[in-house]
Amino acid sequence: MIVHFFECRLELVQGDITTQSVDAIVNAANSRLAGGGGVDGAIHAAAGPALLAETDSRYPEGCPTGDAVATSAGQLPAKHVFHAVGPVWRGGMQQEEQQLRSAWRRCLELAVEHSCRSIAFPAISTGVYGYPVDLAARASLETVRDFLVEHRQPEMVRVVLFGEGAYGAFSRVLEEMVQ
Ligand code: ADP
């Protein structure tokens, strides 16, 4: 699914984020930037050991929830990896939505800072961190829309959904948003 906000393009695709040819890909990291399973494991496996070496040396303190840090992308087709730390879902009353929105916004800000024309995101927090996918879709896509409307960049934002369920949930929310 593709929609435009002014001259910017927002795409939803089903697939694997590690194969995306974009300027930056976003990793759903943990706050220690320690590497893990899920999309984080897939990104580190595809990028090679340089990624973990760089997060260890540049960000020994890790990264707080709701924030993101940038590294190079090792052997990935992208130029940069933005390691974003989404919230663990604890029922919805612990500022999870605010933290999820902040993690997405920080990545979009990093994209602008690093002159990225294109960026690909996974569905941050919807795996092991347990954020309900329909709620995550709304918070995430609204954050992208608001950023693109305000800043008119990056040119292309792609959300790469791993599986039909997540793709369906994000598409339904995006359809509602543009009606
Ligand atoms: P979190 O800890 O933030 O929940 P996960 O990696 O467990 O992170 O899951 C985040 C989302 O990424 C989930 O929807 C999961 O299905 C998805 N995912 C896992 N592997 C990939 C991949 N290779 N490409 C894109 N998305 C992926």
Q: pLDDT by residue (tens digit) across 62-120?
A: 999 999 999 999 999 999 999 999 999 999 999 999 999 999 999 999 999 999 999 99
pTM of the predicted model as reported, rounded to 2 decimal places: 0.98
* Paired tokens of 168: 């369906």
Q: Evaluate: CB of 28 within 6 angstroms of ligand 1.
A: yes
Active site residue 40: yes
Calculate how far, in angstroms, residue 55's C-alpha sits from the geometric centre of ligand 1: 19
pLDDT of residue 170 exceeding 90:
yes
Calculate how far, in angstroms, residue 28's C-alpha sits from the geometric centre of ligand 1: 7
Name which residue sits closest to atom 5 of ligand 1, judged by CA: 127
**What is the average pLDDT value for the chain, to the nearest integer?**
97
pLDDT of residue 36 exceeding 90:
no
Can you tell me the mean pLDDT for 149-163? 97
pLDDT digits (tens, 9 = 90+) for 9-18: 999 999 999 9
Task: Parse the chain into domains and list their residue ranges.
Answer: 2-178
CATH assignment of 2-178, among 2.60.120.560, 3.40.50.20, 3.30.565.10, 3.40.220.10: 3.40.220.10
